[in-house]
Amino acid sequence: MKEKKRELILQIARKLFARYGLKKTSVDDIATEARIGKATIYYYFKSKQEIFKTVVNRELTILKNAIKEAISKENSPQGKLRAFILTKISRTHELVNLYRVTKDAVTELLPDLEKIRESHFREELNIIKEILSEGVRKGKFKVKRIEFTSLAMVSVLKGLEYPWVLNGEPIDIEKNVDAILEILFKGIEAK
């Protein structure tokens, strides 16, 4: 029973945070929507910020698991890289709260989220490094500086995913990802 109540709070909070953001969502809003008392929420969570942090952490876990599953279904390094990028970008649309965590919100409202964001960034970096290393070992990629290349790729993806997610415009994710991969695999230099 306790776990169900906590889960209800998190589901309602996730929906409200996605719709209104952290600042405009109150504990009262969550309690009203969940049809429970405000005191019940404080029984499970110390603050609205703790609820938000839990929601964001869950979204990161959902994303991480989806990426790992997609990569595990691929055999080639190229397929793994494509699966990583496609899954990351397509699942991002479902994880609105994760992308409400801007630098300002992190430093102003929830300093703990900076640690979560950094941890997620490191995990993505490690996944890309593993894929690139495998590609080099198999003779599929020619990468001299795997660490630097991984950092560049993760940074480029972060820069590209924000407009796709925040604009709310429908995009052809596969077409855009394939264009990015073509640039990555074939380069921009005329031969």
* Least confident range of 40-54, 72-86, 173-187: 173-187
Structure-model confidence comparison of residues 103 and 186, the more confident one: 186
pLDDT of residue 164: 58
Q: Name all domains of the chain by residue range, CATH numbers in brackets.
A: 1-45 (1.10.10.60), 47-186 (1.10.357.10)
Of 168, 178, 19, 16, nearest in space to 92 by CA: 168
pLDDT of residue 165: 56
**Angstrom distance (rounded) from CA 75 to CA 105:** 39
Of the pLDDT bands very low, low, confident and very high (cuts 50, 70, 90), residue 170 is low
Residue type, 106: V
Of the pLDDT bands very low, low, confident and very high (cuts 50, 70, 90), residue 52 is confident
pLDDT of residue 156: 81
Q: Which residues of 44-56 are buried (b: 16+ CB within 10 A; e: fewer)?
A: bbeebeebbbbbb
Average pLDDT value for residue range 1-10 = 88
Contacts of 15 (CB under 8 A, 6+ apart): 33
Of the pLDDT bands very low, low, confident and very high (cuts 50, 70, 90), residue 9 is very high
Using the predicted structure, report yes or no on whether residue 111 has a pLDDT greater than 80.
no
Give me the chain's average pLDDT, please.
83
pLDDT of residue 51: 92
pLDDT of residue 116: 75
- Give 3-state DSSP helix, strand, coil % of the chain, rounded to 5: 80, 0, 20
**Angstrom distance (rounded) from CA 20 to CA 71:** 33
Using the predicted structure, report yes or no on whether residue 124 has a pLDDT greater than 80.
yes
**Portion of the chain with pLDDT greater than 90, in percent:** 40
Residue-wise pLDDT tens digits, 16-26: 888 887 888 89
Average pLDDT value for residue range 162-187 = 71
DSSP string covering 134-161, please?
Answer: HHHHTTS---S-HHHHHHHHHHHHHHHH
Residue carrying structure tokens 């979560």: 116
